Structure 1
Amino acid sequence: MSIATLAEVLQPALRQGYAVAGLVTLGWEDMRAYVAAAEAEGAPVILQAGPSCRAHTPLPVLGKMFRHLAETASVPVVAHLDHGYTLEECREALDSGFTSLMYDGSRKPLAQNIDETARIAELAHAAGISCEGEIGFVGYSGGDGSDGTDPQEAERFARETLVDAMAISVGNVHLQQDREGGLDEARIRAIEALTTVPLVIHGGSGVPVAQRSALAHTSSICKFNIGTELRMAFGAALREAVARDPARFDRVAILKETHDPVMLAARTVIRALGAPNKDI
């Protein structure tokens, strides 16, 4: 299966009533495990390079890693820039082989966010790839609070930017380690009543699994971003591997032991979102 764009995996999800997992990567070990999980589930997957990932590994390197995994996978794989904050960063991701650009102007005034996101969407579409935008700031656990998305503003944002997917703020929070928050379903219904664009939930680790699954099947939410719970699985596996023999020092041997636990955790995430066990 060749590498896919975001639109190529989200449009079937919108039509058929499921969601695709946007899995936040930090390095080779987790991204490889995520693709293995997607293949085991027969489902598409979105590999996401967020700011902390890019601070560790340059975009041109990440692009090659994502594309190598995609081009050897049996399922569709999207190479996605998560939370791009500048035009230059988005251009670099495009030049590095990414197939989806997420521009985050959610902290900016609405008109500025629309103008800048529309420019990124035009850039992406001219190159034959996809664009995701964000309307309504999604906060961080222990940090800045969220600004809920206004449905009327969401309709305008989707219409004027022509994005392929729209991230919304409906009670979701980045970096949340528990699943006690839950999403504002009334706000979700109000937003989807005004637009047909696939919706995205950032901070999906804080959303109860049952609610993720229900919304994947019954709403326009076609993508859940999941990072924290998978990083927790990786960290637990890594600590166990090191503690088993404190004298070990070969990092390749140690990191190898994170693969199966992370793959199994990712399989659980993917399965709950209901993607059919078949190619798109």
Structure 2
Amino acid sequence: MTLATLAEVLQPALKQGHAVAGLVTLGWEDMRAYVAAAEAENVPVILQAGPSCRAHTPLPVLGKMFRHLAEHASVPVVAHLDHGYTMDECKEALDSGFTSLMFDGSRKPLAQNIAETAAIAEMAHAAGISCEGEIGFVGYSGGEQSAGTDPEEAAQFAVETNVDAMAISVGNVHLQEDKDGGLDEPRIRAIEAVTSVPLVIHGGSGVPVDQRRRLAQGSSICKFNIGTELRMAFGDALRNAVNADPARFDRVAILKDTHDPVVAAARRVLTAFKGTENG
């Protein structure tokens, strides 16, 4: 069994100079492909259930799916709640077997964000699992605008919440389909200077691969969330599978054809986060 907490995979990443991918799942086909990719690359992987995933599949079911994959995997697998917005939602994820809770209070005033995140971190730690918080708001492509993380507020947040990982807003954007953006490295260095907590980049699909690799090996960013580019790979594979034989109607047979292309896309993602010691 290789079920792991977030802290168990991020602390080695921080010390050894690499990052771990938080791969955003939507269903059985992609989460299974992500674990296969992690095994092929011999790296840990964080399976993430975000709001759209939870709207489609209940948390208790997702917890069992994640744990089943972890128990049969040859690499560490983290069962992670992504963007939990309430204590009740985080408690349900904990009760469903998740090993990591990400509470997103980034839209709230700082004091409220700290208080609520600290309460969830305390609950998680009492159960022997991990907690990620967010300070500074990461916006959405074509939607809400970002609000960059203030280094002094980040230092306060890290100390007062006792989180195991801290998501920051440094030019990253959710749901970005291209890689024309880039992260604000001076802001990252300013945050690194005032806290030793592993840092997390949400909206990692929009970050150029060279910058991902460089920051994974040479900064405190230990987790990059990747969703959009893998959803695009799945969508392309599914369209190809459907169009290859218009008479085919069995969805199991159709979905099976998405596996190898998604594994290949996930392996390309995972490779960029490896440290120098493991290629």
Aligned-partner residue type, residue 12 of structure 1 = P
SS in 2 for 1:24: strand
Q: CA deviation at 1:2?
A: 2.3
The match for 1:250 is 250
Q: Distance in 1 between matches of 2:19 and 2:156?
A: 24
Distance 2:6 2:195 in 1: 18
Q: Distance in 1 between matches of 2:36 and 2:240?
A: 22
For residues 67-106 of structure 1, the aligned pairs below 5 Å read 67-106=67-106
C-alpha contact 1:19 1:217 (8 A) present in aligned 2: yes
Aligned equivalent of 1:208: 208
Structure 1 residue 173: Cα displacement: 0.2
Q: Which residue of 2 aligns with 1:49?
A: 49
Secondary structure, in 3 states, of the residue corresponding to 1:53?
A: helix
1:222 corresponds to 2:222 = yes
Work out the percentage of aligned pairs sharing the same amino acid. Answer: 83
| TM-score for the superposition, normalised by structure 1 | 0.98
Counterpart-to-counterpart distance in 2, 1:192 and 1:103: 21
Separation (CA, whole Å) in 1 of partners of 2:80 and 2:9: 12
Q: For 1:8 and 1:161, how far apart are their aligned partners in 2?
A: 19
Conserved? CA contact 1:121–1:131, under 8 Å: yes
- What displacement does 1:248 show? 1.1
For residues 58-110 of structure 1, give each alpha carbon's deviation from its aligned partner in whole angstroms, at most 9, with x where no partner exists: 00000000000000000000000000000000000000000000000000000
Tell me how far 1:29 sits from its aligned partner.
Answer: 0.1
Large movers: runs of 4+ above 2 Å: 275-278
Cα separation, 2, equivalents of 1:180 and 1:132 = 27
Q: Which amino acid aligns with 1:32?
A: R
Q: CA deviation at 1:246?
A: 1.1
Q: Which amino acid aligns with 1:164?
A: D
Structure 2: state its 5+ residue gaps: none
Q: Normalising to structure 2: TM-score of the pair?
A: 0.99
Secondary structure of the 1:67 match is helix
Q: For residues 259 and 140 of structure 2, what CA distance do their matches in structure 1 show?
A: 28
- In structure 2, C-alpha distance between the alignment counterparts of 1:71 and 1:241, rounded to whole Å: 30
User: How far did 1:277 drift?
Assistant: 4.8
Q: Distance in 1 between matches of 2:101 and 2:263?
A: 25
**RMSD, aligned α-carbons:** 0.9
Following the alignment from structure 1 to structure 2, what is the Cα–Cα distance between the partners of residues 24 and 72? Answer: 20
Separation in structure 1 between the aligned mates of residue 35 and residue 225 of structure 2, nearest angstrom: 15
Give the equivalent residue in structure 2 for 1:193: 193
Q: Give me the whole-angstrom Cα distance separating, in 2, the residues matched to 1:169 and 1:252.
A: 39
| SS class of match (1:167) | strand
Task: Provide the residue aligned with 1:32 in structure 2.
Answer: 32
**Deviation of the 1:247 alpha carbon:** 1.4
